[in-house]
């Protein structure tokens, strides 16, 4: 990857939450095409962060990327409850990073942190994809997520979910990942 992508920054912010002890993390990406915006949010349930941990590198890079393109960044943390962050980016701003390989970032998080409960949500317009790893983990029973056949299946599910959402959008949206995709009327 020659240029940093938003997907990599999302992945890094999620890894900061895992390092702080999060047991359940929900990541959402929403593209508002008519307004030219991308919104990212992370909700991590766990012990929360002490004030010194709020300045973790992934969070700081995400904040800088949002501010560099006329967007904004919010972060809240409560000990024992967890962390919530949101970032908004102006896609038409010359300083906005590309979204990048969302499915690849999500797959890396699943592979690197299988004990965490992950939920991924991607929306563009009326179309959305939602992936909850609990569904897969309950089917696998004792088989590890890191098994090559399981990783290949997850890679395809995530990639198909992102593609499914993007396929229903105008050509100006860049390609991304998969799960259970659908559109609302």
Burial class (CB in 10 A: 0-12, 13-18, 19+), 180: middle
pTM: 0.86
Measured at the alpha carbon of residue 26, what is the angle toward residues 88 and 40, in degrees to the nearest 5? Answer: 10
Q: Give 75-120 pLDDT, tens digit per residue.
A: 988 877 888 999 999 998 999 999 999 999 999 999 999 999 999 9
Whole-angstrom distance, CA of residue 127 vs CA of residue 105: 20
| Mean pLDDT per 10-residue section of the chain, whose length is 185 residues | 81 92 95 90 83 78 95 88 92 92 97 96 94 93 90 96 86 40 44
Contact 81, 45 (CB under 8 A): yes
Cα 128 to chain centroid, rounded: 13
Domains of the chain by start residue, with CATH: 6-183 (3.30.565)
Whole-angstrom distance, CA of residue 148 vs CA of residue 89: 35
- The strand pairing partners of 76, in sequence order, are 84
């Amino acid at each position: 990857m020659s240029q940093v992508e938003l997907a990599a920054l999302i992945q890094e912010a999620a890894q900061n939450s895992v390092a702080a002890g999060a047991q359940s993390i929900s990541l959402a990406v929403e593209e508002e095409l008519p307004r030219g915006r991308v919104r990212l949010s992370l909700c991590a349930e766990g012990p929360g962060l002490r004030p010194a941990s709020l300045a973790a590198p992934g969070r700081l890079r995400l904040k800088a990327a949002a501010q560099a393109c006329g967007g904004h960044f919010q972060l809240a943390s409560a000990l024992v409850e967890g962390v919530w962050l949101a970032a908004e980016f102006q896609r038409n701003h010359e300083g906005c990073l590309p979204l990048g390989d969302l499915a690849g970032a999500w797959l890396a998080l699943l592979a690197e942190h299988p004990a965490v409960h992950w939920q991924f949500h991607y929306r563009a317009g009326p179309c959305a994809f939602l992936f909850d790893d609990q569904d897969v983990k309950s089917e696998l029973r004792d088989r590890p997520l890191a098994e090559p056949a399981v990783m290949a299946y997850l890679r395809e599910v995530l990639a198909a979910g992102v593609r499914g959402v993007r396929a229903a959008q105008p050509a100006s949206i860049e390609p991304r990942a998969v799960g259970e995709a659908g559109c609302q009327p």
